[in-house]
Structure 1
Amino acid sequence: MNTQLPPLSQAKAQAKRLRAELADQGTEISHAQSLELVAHQNGFRDWNAFHAAIGNRPPPAWTPGGRVEGSYLSQPFKATVVSVTMLRPGWFRLALELDEPVDVVTFDSFSNYRKRVHCVIGPLGMTQEKTSDGTPHVILEC
């Protein structure tokens, strides 16, 4: 079995390309059949098993000890992943140890620095929680 599984978006794109290439060669297959073929190419019995394997794991950098970059309250950071818990497919609770503390206060009169951040990151690499200007609290570069 392939130990380096592609992200779900890549697997679906591969199935779409495969279907188009086969159609160009005169072989029409359904979308479901192309997904099954991609699953087989990656060593899985069917698409459901392949999808579960992809959906039940965080991106490679989102594992304990992994390194991530992004922004927290619109401030850039680099961090080490301390812990990760899957909440549901595509959604993970992360604890991040920031390399440099980030000031979470926007007032000039005082500061409050944070070195560790706990957040829930979705499939798009950002939190659902947003600041008053609509910016997600945490955005990870994927």
Structure 2
Amino acid sequence: MTTLQIPSRDVLKAQAKRLRGDLAERGQTISHAQALETIAHQWGARDWNTLAALATTAHAGGYASGQHVSGRYLGHVFDGEVKAARQSANGYWSLTLRFDAPIDVVASTLFSSFRRQVNVTVTPKGVSPQKTSDGQPHLVLT
């Protein structure tokens, strides 16, 4: 079995659906079950059931709509709610966060721009890979 972090079942099923679509464009048809088995083999599992079992436990602590979160966004402490969450094949999460109170996202003293909701990408540990000019992550969930 591979040492890569196994994504969620939804991500794996989406990979199988894309595989079927790509093959169909080339004139090759396979069943959804065959696509799932192929994805399982690509991830190093002997079959889909084995991979699905690993995926179930791989992301038990992920993110979900309605979940309360807190952390720092562009250096500002916040509390908020996850409005939408989607896990990518690479294990990162695409989140839409709604802050309890608006955050000024501009560092300038000349003007302000307040945001109440942002779309961010975070690692499984809740840290955005994007960084500010001083090297700090845009978002850190605590």
* TM-score normalized with structure 2 length: 0.60
Partner of 1:80: 81
Deviation per CA, 1:81-133, whole angstroms, max 9, x where unpaired?
A: 10011112531100001001010111111100010010011122111100011
Note the C-alpha offset of 1:59. 2.5
> Could you tell me which amino acid in structure 2 is paired with residue 54 of structure 1?
T
Inter-CA distance 138–58: structure 2 relative to 1 (3 Å threshold): farther
| Alignment gaps of 5+ in structure 1 | 1-7, 9-44
Aligned equivalents of 1:140, 1:117: Cα separation in 2: 14
* Count of residue pairs the alignment pairs up: 95
Larger relative contact order (C-alpha < 8 A, sep ≥ 6)?
A: 2
Aligned alpha-carbon RMSD (Å): 2.0
8 A Cα contact 1:96 1:117, kept in partner: yes
Aligned equivalents of 2:60, 2:80: Cα separation in 1: 16
| Alignment gaps of 5+ in structure 2 | 6-48
> Could you tell me which amino acid in structure 2 is paired with residue 127 of structure 1?
S
Partner of 1:94: 95
Alignment of 1:49-88 (within 5 A): 49-55=52-58, 57=59, 59=61, 62-88=63-89
Aligned equivalents of 1:112, 1:50: Cα separation in 2: 45
Aligned equivalents of 1:58, 1:84: Cα separation in 2: 14
Partner of 2:136: 135
Aligned equivalents of 1:49, 1:58: Cα separation in 2: 13
Report the identity percentage: 33
> Could you tell me which amino acid in structure 1 is paired with residue 98 of structure 2?
E
Deviation per CA, 1:44-98, whole angstroms, max 9, x where unpaired?
A: x86x54431133x4625x2111100010001100011100111125311000010
8 A Cα contact 1:58 1:92, kept in partner: no
> Could you tell me which amino acid in structure 1 is paired with residue 55 of structure 2?
A
SS in 2 for 1:88: coil
Alignment of 1:1-142 (within 5 A): 48-55=51-58, 57=59, 59=61, 62-141=63-142
Inter-CA distance 134–58: structure 2 relative to 1 (3 Å threshold): farther
Q: Which consecutive aligned stretches of 4+ in structure 1 deviate over 4 angstroms post-superposition?
A: none
SS in 1 for 2:55: helix
